[in-house]
Structure 1
Amino acid sequence: MAHDHSHHDHPHDHDASCAHAHARAAALPEALATAQAACAERGVRLTPIRRTVLEALLESHAPLGAYEILDALNAKDADDKPGESKSGRGLAPIAIYRALDFLIEQGFVHKLESRNAFTACPHAHAPHDLVAFLICDACGGVDEVSPAPLAQAVTRMLAQEGFAPRRQVLEITGTCAHCHG
């Protein structure tokens, strides 16, 4: 069972000393390398903008909306060269959305429909595997699990119904062990 221990604090309550934030940061280089290798193997390109969006999501231990990603990238761009961005202008929202579409299609990012936000996926599962997100109402944290028995049960149910899924994402809201315990 894949389990993402990179528990997220509420987006407006980041704690850099959080063990989950450290785990997420430690996974970043390997997750980027895995994405790069997967793209090469699949014959697709992890362009600079796609890589930058993925990196922004990997750096955050909270799910981000598209405009939050845009703001973070434009702020980072301005920090790199004060007074001017690398491109000479801010990134356009359409560039972020196109990058997110690619990253979702490749299985590197998931969209949390209930939050209209995106979270990086450091796991090496197939792009269309069943993924369950445990979303904490108290802290905004998101844990990702892919339990084989659940996936098998859903696959059987879909086959019985003759339904061909395009995407399989299950969102479960409640209180995480950190907040509950």
Structure 2
Amino acid sequence: MKKPAKAPANNGHDHRHCVEDALSAAERLCAQKGLRFTPLRRRVLELVWSSHKPVGAYALLDELRSEDLGSAPPTIYRALDFLIENGLIHRIEKMNAFVGCSHPGETHRGFFLICNQCGNAEELDSDSVAEAITSSASRRGFVPRDMTLEVTGLCGECRRQN
């Protein structure tokens, strides 16, 4: 498995700010909830945010092994579970991978646009999409408990390059 890819430099985007903001939000959230933000959890979050591309657990594990931070799959999965449970990352089911949450600690739906070409995933914040799905489900007598939507296609940057 390859290491988590670095995000391309798009339109002056400095990805270090994304990582710094995610780490700061996680520190605040853990302090508010009285949770331990261990060095391993911190590093896993940092690696997940090292790109806007979803990253798999084994790619994370390879990086952690090279840094002597963890060598067993249960180690990485416990850290990932903690980050998911506390609203700091999302799991992209289709790719069996993880991506940073752009609304850390907030209860919200996971809607993602995933580029087939560059692999970046962008989280959408859309109450109208959630309402449309909930309304359609309700008409069928179904009550949604959890909702994640993954839409694949080409991002604007890749479309401009083609």
The two structures have a TM-score, normalised by structure 2, of: 0.82
* CA deviation after TM superposition for structure 1 residue 56, in Å: 0.8
The 1:21/1:122 distance shift into structure 2, 3 A limit, reads farther
The one of the two structures with greater contact order (alpha-carbon pairs below 8 A, sep at least 6) is: 1
**Moved runs in structure 1, 4+ residues, more than 6 A?**
none
1:1-181 correspondence runs (5 A): 18-19=9-10, 22-75=13-66, 77=67, 85=68, 90-124=70-104, 126-127=106-107, 129-158=108-137, 161-165=141-145, 167-181=146-160
Structure 2, unmatched stretches of 5+, are none
1:67-91 residue CA offsets vs partner (Å, 9 max, x unmatched) = 100111222x1xxxxxxx3x6xx42
Structure 1, unmatched stretches of 5+, are 1-10, 78-84
The 1:156/1:46 distance shift into structure 2, 3 A limit, reads farther
What SS does the corresponding residue of 2:15 show, helix, strand or coil? Answer: helix
Q: 2:88 & 2:65 partners in 1: Cα distance?
A: 22
State the percentage of identical aligned residues: 39
The two structures have a TM-score, normalised by structure 1, of: 0.75
The 1:111/1:123 distance shift into structure 2, 3 A limit, reads same
* CA deviation after TM superposition for structure 1 residue 118, in Å: 0.7
The 1:158/1:125 distance shift into structure 2, 3 A limit, reads farther
Q: 1:40 & 1:172 partners in 2: Cα distance?
A: 34
Q: 1:71 & 1:53 partners in 2: Cα distance?
A: 11
Say what the alpha-carbon RMSD is for the aligned residues: 2.6
